Amino acid sequence: MSSAAVSNKKGFGATLWDYLTTVDHKKLGVMYLFAGTLFFAIAGLEALLMRIQLMIPNSDFVSAGTFNELLTMHGTTMLFLAATPLLFGFMNAVVPLQIGARDVAFPFLNSLGFWLFFLGALFLHLSFFLGGAPDAGWTNYASLALYSPGHGIDFYVLGLQISGAGTLISGINFIVTIITMRAPGMTFMRMPLFTWTSLISSALILFAFPPLTVGLFLMLVDRMFEANFFDHTMGGNTVIWEHLFWIFGHPEVYILVLPAFGLFSEIIPVFARKRLFGYSSMVFATILIGFLGFMVWAHHMFTTGLGATANAIFAVATMAIAVPTGMKVFNWIMTIWGGSVKVTVPMLYALGFIPSFVAGGVTGVMQAAAPLDYQLHDSYFIVAHFHYVIVGGIVTAIFGSMHFYWPIMFNRALSEKLGVLTFWIFFTGFHLTFFLQHFLGLMGMPRRVFTYQANQGWDLFNFISSIGAIMMAIGVILLVINIIITAKSKPLNCRDYWGDGRSLEWAIQTPVPFYNFKQTPLVRGYDPYWLEKHDGNEEGMVYAEPLGDIHMPNNSILPLIMSIGTFIAAFGALYHPDGKAWAIPVLILGLAITVGAMIVRSVKDDLGFHVHVEEVIATEEHLYGKGGNK
């Protein structure tokens, strides 16, 4: 590995091996980004098929059963396998640079987290080819899921169990990284907002994923090993699933939206060319949202019948979340206020985000009123609400940040012109699709129906909504074209691409060498790079240590082997209820591979390697020419 310090042209096999074994946070960030984009495209296609089906009344484009599979896989894939990895991609690519670290705290676990996520996602998608996808909705309520025929639900349970373990591991990794690996001078209250939101979002993962793990396990043993958790004839109770799922499911929304908030809190000050307004209140609001996020899960269950007292408590707690979220919105507006705003593509997404997300938030507060929720529950109003939050909040953040961080991640810049076009088509399509769905819901159209009768006043709005969905698809295709064009463009080899970078990630020259900063930077205040620029420091940063040997972690294939073991074991569990004789041996074989790889990992010393000073200097000269990283 140490010879790879000076990157030469490598063959396809060597490159593939490098990506299969890599523990470098920058490469894993890229892998998360592409895997997330792949699943985003698949889930988007599923959405498109649903909208084509609903375009006209009494349509028979897809059958009712297929529609159930499409809506389940669309929701599950978008939340677990598209939004989460895309945000993890940015966390991996940016957070270690923002805090001036060489890598994350556990590079090996970082790789394990990715491979578990990816193989779990692959397993879930194999259901399409092996007898049908899950069809009980992304919430997979036990009363529906327990008796669903075929293996769809089993794929859901096992696939999410594997990829959920990966997400949990990555979450732990980021918490430890942010606590222990910050550069000298980077106190908690000097951390960039994206690092803060990544920390809080990882903490939410830490407490939200175990209940999901338990819920999925109970569903697994109920369906595959004849346990009785949800079977009421044997004393079980399906409401347990609802609780466990939503104790996970509600924080999951904040797991996704907090990093999105963080990304916009990075984008807005750079292009408003002003310090972020109310930094400490932003931090406080982030923590408060994270805390309150755990106190509100039963607002998804108002109609389950928990009683008036429980409903009232959860209604009030839910409304309280609007307060810290409102603080954030005002802080963004105040940052833009009076700034000398440059409207680039990332800023365009930020400007589109604020009103869209506020609209989604307001409808959320409406649903928090339990009596009104009885009317809105399971109608298209709900669909409109959470798409405003997720597309208006999270997808805009992801698209905006792709433009914003592409120079750091790939040493190339996405086309601005094509980006502006993409934004307007996507943004118009988004509002066209979902704005009218509010009214469809108020007019009584239930969600998750595969068709509807004509002349109920729903025809026109459904038609327009489907046109909007097609526009969103065109927007995404334009973004992909932009990425392909950019891949062939000339490398930038620059520092601070946008010219107004404020935090540490902009202080490093692209392409970023595999060891990041050649010397650990010294952080002298909030917005450290802006501070140095302001003081006329030509070199970028002041460094906390002399140029010396750099200690780096070794690559390893073990994470992939461990993940493949769980992947094999999942097949054993899946086919066990069919009475296949090979099912249990396959389950044991898979687990043995995983445990064996863990023991190898534990017993074999992995001390990493040192990059010597001469090698560092040589790498810098190779990347940036004589004089190194100036």
CB 185 within 8 A of CB 86: no
Nearer to another protein, 307 or 627 (CB): 307
Q: Please select the residue that binds another protein; options are 4, 14, 16, 179, rule is CB under 8 A.
A: 179
Q: Provide, rounded to whole angstroms, the least separation between the CB of residue 304 and another protein.
A: 14
Nearer to another protein, 175 or 384 (CB): 175
Q: Provide, rounded to whole angstroms, the least separation between the CB of residue 345 and another protein.
A: 37
Instruction: Tell me the Cα Rg of the chain.
Output: 25
Q: Does 307 bind another protein (CB under 8 A)?
A: no
Phi, psi (5° rounding) for residue 446? -75, 150
Q: Please select the residue that binds another protein; options are 59, 213, 428, 554, rule is CB under 8 A.
A: 213
Neighbours of 614 (CB within 10 A): 9
The token pair at 581 is 């004789």
Q: Provide, rounded to whole angstroms, the least separation between the CB of residue 135 and another protein.
A: 25
Nearer to another protein, 134 or 211 (CB): 211
Nearer to another protein, 199 or 359 (CB): 199
Q: Does 214 bind another protein (CB under 8 A)?
A: yes
Which listed range, 123-131, 218-226, 310-318, 481-489, lies at the site for another protein (CB under 8 A)?
A: 218-226
Q: Please select the residue that binds another protein; options are 3, 8, 58, 180, rule is CB under 8 A.
A: 180
Q: Is 79 in a helix, a strand, or coil?
A: helix
CA atoms of 530 and 547, how far apart (whole Å): 23
Q: Please select the residue that binds another protein; options are 43, 83, 97, 168, rule is CB under 8 A.
A: 168
DSSP 190-230: GS-HHHHHHHHHHHHHHHHHHHHHHHHHHHHHHHHS---SS
Which listed range, 219-227, 397-405, 473-481, 554-562, lies at the site for another protein (CB under 8 A)?
A: 219-227
Q: Please select the residue that binds another protein; options are 115, 229, 246, 461, rule is CB under 8 A.
A: 229
SS3 sequence of 504-571: HHHHCCCCCCCCCCCCCECCCCCCHHHHHHHCCCCCCCCECCCCCCEEECCCCCHHHHHHHHHHHHHH
Characterise 363 by phi-psi region: left (phi > 0), alpha (psi -120 to 50), beta (else): alpha
Residues present in the chain in total: 630
Q: Provide, rounded to whole angstroms, the least separation between the CB of residue 450 and another protein.
A: 34
> How far from 441 is each of 124, 182, 272, 333, 466, CA to CA, in Å?
31, 48, 38, 31, 15
Q: Provide, rounded to whole angstroms, the least separation between the CB of residue 255 and another protein.
A: 13
Q: Please select the residue that binds another protein; options are 62, 221, 287, 470, rule is CB under 8 A.
A: 221
> How far from 344 is each of 155, 348, 351, 423, CA to CA, in Å?
43, 6, 10, 11
Q: Provide, rounded to whole angstroms, the least separation between the CB of residue 616 and another protein.
A: 18
Nearer to another protein, 235 or 546 (CB): 235
> How far from 556 is each of 22, 25, 257, 550, 604, CA to CA, in Å?
7, 14, 32, 19, 12
Q: Provide, rounded to whole angstroms, the least separation between the CB of residue 294 and another protein.
A: 10
Nearer to another protein, 221 or 470 (CB): 221
Q: Please select the residue that binds another protein; options are 17, 61, 217, 386, rule is CB under 8 A.
A: 217
Query: Which residues contact residue 389 at a Cβ distance below 8 angstroms, ignoring those fewer than 6 apart?
Result: 253, 257, 357, 360, 361, 364
Site string for another protein, 73-112 (x = CB under 8 A): --------------------------------xx------
Q: Provide, rounded to whole angstroms, the least separation between the CB of residue 207 and another protein.
A: 5
Site residues (CB under 8 A) for another protein, limited to 400-419: none
Q: Does 548 bind another protein (CB under 8 A)?
A: no
Q: Does 549 bind another protein (CB under 8 A)?
A: no
Q: Does 207 bind another protein (CB under 8 A)?
A: yes
Q: Provide, rounded to whole angstroms, the least separation between the CB of residue 599 and another protein.
A: 6
Nearer to another protein, 41 or 591 (CB): 591
Q: Does 211 bind another protein (CB under 8 A)?
A: yes
Question: Chain-centre distance of CA 371, in angstroms?
Answer: 33
CA atoms of 442 and 439, how far apart (whole Å): 5
- For the chain, the helix, strand and coil percentages under 3-state DSSP, each to the nearest 5: 70, 0, 30
The token pair at 238 is 């399906």
Q: Provide, rounded to whole angstroms, the least separation between the CB of residue 602 and another protein.
A: 5
Burial of 255 (0-12, 13-18, 19+ CB in 10 A): buried
Q: Provide, rounded to whole angstroms, the least separation between the CB of residue 387 and another protein.
A: 29
CB 20 within 8 A of CB 119: no
Burial of 275 (0-12, 13-18, 19+ CB in 10 A): middle
Identity (one letter) of the amino acid at 28? L
Nearer to another protein, 539 or 606 (CB): 606
Nearer to another protein, 244 or 413 (CB): 244
Q: Please select the residue that binds another protein; options are 85, 236, 360, 407, rule is CB under 8 A.
A: 236
In which element (H, E) is residue 609 found?
Answer: strand 609-611
Residue indicated by tokens 């932003």: 282
Strand partners, 550: 611
Nearer to another protein, 28 or 351 (CB): 28
The token pair at 333 is 């507006």
Nearer to another protein, 578 or 605 (CB): 605
> Considering CB under 8 A, how many residues would be counted as binding another protein?
45
Q: Does 231 bind another protein (CB under 8 A)?
A: yes
The token pair at 62 is 């897809």
Which listed range, 229-237, 358-366, 401-409, 429-437, lies at the site for another protein (CB under 8 A)?
A: 229-237
Q: Please select the residue that binds another protein; options are 247, 270, 285, 394, rule is CB under 8 A.
A: 247
Nearer to another protein, 457 or 608 (CB): 608
Q: Does 225 bind another protein (CB under 8 A)?
A: yes
The token pair at 597 is 């790889």
Q: Does 237 bind another protein (CB under 8 A)?
A: yes
Q: Does 175 bind another protein (CB under 8 A)?
A: yes
Question: Chain-centre distance of CA 378, in angstroms?
Answer: 25
Query: Which residues contact residue 291 at a Cβ distance below 8 angstroms, ignoring those fewer than 6 apart?
Result: none
Question: Chain-centre distance of CA 581, in angstroms?
Answer: 39
Q: Provide, rounded to whole angstroms, the least separation between the CB of residue 82 and another protein.
A: 24
Which listed range, 279-287, 321-329, 599-607, 622-630, lies at the site for another protein (CB under 8 A)?
A: 599-607
Q: Where along the sequence are the contacts to another protein (CB under 8 A)?
A: 105-106, 168, 171-172, 175-176, 179-181, 206-207, 209-211, 213-215, 217-218, 221-222, 225-229, 231, 233-237, 240, 243-244, 247, 551, 599, 602-603, 605, 607-608, 610
